[in-house]
Amino acid sequence: MHVTLRQLQVFESVARNLSYTQAAQELHLSQPAVSMQIKQLEENVGLDLFERLGKQIFLTEAGREMHHYSRNIAQQLTEAGEVIEQLKGIKRGRLVIAVAGTANYFAPRLLAVFSRQFEGVTVSLDVTNRAGLLQHLEDNDSDMVIMGMPPKNMELDAAAFMDNPLVIIAPRDHELAEADNIPLSRLQQETFVVREQGSGTRIAMERFFTENGISITTGMEMSSNEAIKQAVEAGLGLGIVSLHTLELELETQRLTVLNAESFPILRRWYVVHRQGKRLSPVALAFKQFMLAEASMLLHQNTPA
């Protein structure tokens, strides 16, 4: 099979966008030029890579396989380029990071500090839920992800860089707001506003109460920490969130953290990537930065 890097580049763009037009715009080519590159690639491969149904195009089985390899080739070429630039002494490159929604409360602050140290680096940041992070790890399409407990069914390199305490929040006027060492059994009388199924916070919360023999009442499910905080402030129930999400609410006294038995639930933040992944110089620098400086940089801004 004789293919060119240009053909693979054009194919990867069409496959990712499922559109000849968008690929042409992205690559600054004419649509006929894109079509010609795809036609030549299909002739070299000996199989159709796309099929058209109505006005839409879809990847064939061969197309899906080719897309997998074209992405890997593109990533390796990017890594090679960054290694060469690093050998030249040029501090530049592209960093692709995915973070959990909760981590987005501190990740931009860390990225700002890192970017000042490496001014030539461009950063791509995707904020997503746990399912999205697992997909990034499965696809190996980001340098690394920042998440809570890494999954155990994948071969990963995971390094903890900071504590992530989960606390119970309530409105300032809640009857338990001033109580000390609230028994877990007392929480069974309350309704909790919770994160969606599959969320790292939801998993940790359910595991904690199960291990302590406590059955709680759950009301509304929310897909973000912001929604949970607003629901709790509105009096719809108690909530469990990371302490790192509460800086503004505690400063303005819109919410309070309950002093409950065995709380906070102690978790940790991890920087995670596929095991054996060759990190680019920029990605390696970011990982070292996170492990060495993240906790210290954020400690002064963590609510007491």
Calculate mean pLDDT across residues 222-251.
91
Angle between helices 107-117 and 281-289 (to 10 degrees): 120
With 70 as the cut, is the pLDDT of residue 299 above it?
A: no
pLDDT score of 33 more than 90: yes
pLDDT at 91: 62
The mean pLDDT of 121-142, rounded to a whole number, is 91
**pLDDT score for 86:** 64
Mean pLDDT, rounded, for 15-30:
93
Question: For 66-93, how does the pLDDT look when each residue is reduced to its tens digit (9 = 90+)?
Answer: 999 998 888 888 777 776 766 555 466 7
Buried b (16+ CB within 10 A) or exposed e, 1-31: eeeeeebbbbbbbbbeeebbeebbeebebee
Work out the mean pLDDT of the chain and round it to a whole number: 88
Per the DSSP assignment, residues forming a β-bridge with 282 are: none
Identify the structural domains of the chain with CATH numbers, from first to last. Answer: 5-73 (1.10.10.10), 74-162+268-299 (3.40.190.10), 164-266 (3.40.190.10)
Looking at residue 142, its pLDDT comes to 92
Cα 231 versus chain centre, distance: 24
> What are the CA-CA distances from residue 204 to residues 201, 262, 267 (Å)?
5, 14, 8
Per-position DSSP letters for 199-265, written without gaps between them: -HHHHHHHHHHHHTT---EEEEEESSHHHHHHHHHTTS-EEEEEGGG-HHHHHTTSEEE--BTT-SE
Q: In the structure, what pLDDT confidence band is assigned to residue 210 with cuts at 50, 70 and 90?
A: very high
**Looking at the predicted structure, is the pLDDT value of residue 303 above 50?**
no
Please give the pLDDT value at position 88: 58
Angle, CA 303 vertex, CA 299 and CA 304 arms, to 5°: 100
> Residue 302: its pLDDT value, please?
47
Residue 197, pLDDT score: 87
pLDDT in tens, 256-293: 999 999 999 998 999 999 998 888 888 888 999 999 88
* 244 C-beta neighbours (distance < 10 Å), count: 22
Compute φ and ψ for 106, nearest 5 degrees: -125, -20
pLDDT confidence of 50, banded at 50, 70, 90? very high
Structure tokens at 38: 């795809």
